[in-house]
Structure 1
């Protein structure tokens, strides 16, 4: 861990075994969307968390993905939007959207998800100045254009361009080659293990 001062919440995550992403992978970019108002809720949710953390297993895979990307496409980098999400923040997020149409997109804290284990990462690819490649939709976009299940159809419908699909496929390739799993509804979300595996073998980050 660097000499940079971290919050009690971040220290708690370190004490629970989480690793600081940028300390471990200095070349990676991080922009925690929930530490800003630039997210689907429009409010700051990570007011006590400014750095990204992951479980060591997920971090090992992320480091491999960054290496694969930078070897095949020098000048490009992964850009992390979200990583571990402590259960306390999951509750805060759920409270913000409860009773709104957005509630359907946020997991109830009583049903843990892989972010709560530090085993999921939301990310994109950026250039050497940190500008993200065009993936067709913003992060946390709730519409069919965010899905990966029928990107050719989305191109035919005019919702995506071939270049946007190519950018997504590059992201998927480096992440899956590093051992991550995709999900069909969100181009930016990748899991290091299955949820069943996490619930059986790992601890939820409080």
Structure 2
């Protein structure tokens, strides 16, 4: 009888360990009583990606593709509302967040998109046709899903800077804006032409300065997009999220 009690006790210990591990992986969802994990989120967790707010709770998240406030004008993520990245990318983002708070205590990073399944990439690619974007120019705005975007490997992040109230700073264009006004490489020209203000460019520079200092690289046609490594490196190291 004593042997049976001991075995039951060990079993309970193992059960607790499993539950604790599962709760840590799901993070705030357990605390908030969320019982069903969205399918897209399951893909992220299964591939070892992490919720950026588990790494740094001060980072704000508003996934634009979980809303209709995007160029597709529809919700393509469904129940996915949390931002996931490869662990090393999430750590870099946390460093960027720390740098931002040290320089501008009232500001916070606001994530618009992070890891993105390749299945969604196809939807975004096809949606460009409705925007009358020529085939040759489509890769300027959405990576061809056949080769994938760094988002599809969990190694890219779209974001902005928000004030203490959570309102995004004026960056001169909205997220998903197609055209030179959103191009970092065209900012000097846009400034000279009066199409961007000095404050708008300064706001972009706040974002760029902390992201590049944390190890991300700038995208030349999207002020909001930053890569953690080359697509070739990401493909070899992590593989694509289906």
State the aligned residue count: 206
Match of 1:173 in 2: 209
Within 2, Cα distance between the matches of 1:65 and 1:152? 25
Map 1:35-50; keep pairs closer than 5 Å. 35-50=66-81
Within 2, Cα distance between the matches of 1:122 and 1:115? 9
Match of 1:142 in 2: 178
State whether structure 2 residue 229 is matched by structure 1 residue 193: yes
> Runs of 5+ in structure 1 lacking a partner?
none
For the pair shown, the structure with the greater C-alpha radius of gyration is 2
**Cα contact 2:40–2:77 (8 A) shared by 1:** no
State the TM-score, normalized to the length of structure 1: 0.95
2:65 to 24, 28, 34: 34
Within 2, Cα distance between the matches of 1:82 and 1:201? 21
Map 1:97-176; keep pairs closer than 5 Å. 97-98=128-129, 100-102=131-133, 104=138, 105-176=141-212
Q: 1:184, CA displacement in angstroms?
A: 0.8
State whether structure 2 residue 107 is matched by structure 1 residue 82: no
State the TM-score, normalized to the length of structure 2: 0.81
Q: 1:115, CA displacement in angstroms?
A: 0.3
* Cα deviation 1:33-80 (Å, max 9, x = unaligned): 010000011111111411111111110110000000001100100000
Higher relative contact order (CA 8 A, sep 6+): 1
Within 1, Cα distance between the matches of 2:40 and 2:149? 19
Q: 1:29, CA displacement in angstroms?
A: 0.5
Within 2, Cα distance between the matches of 1:7 and 1:166? 38
> Runs of 5+ in structure 2 lacking a partner?
1-25
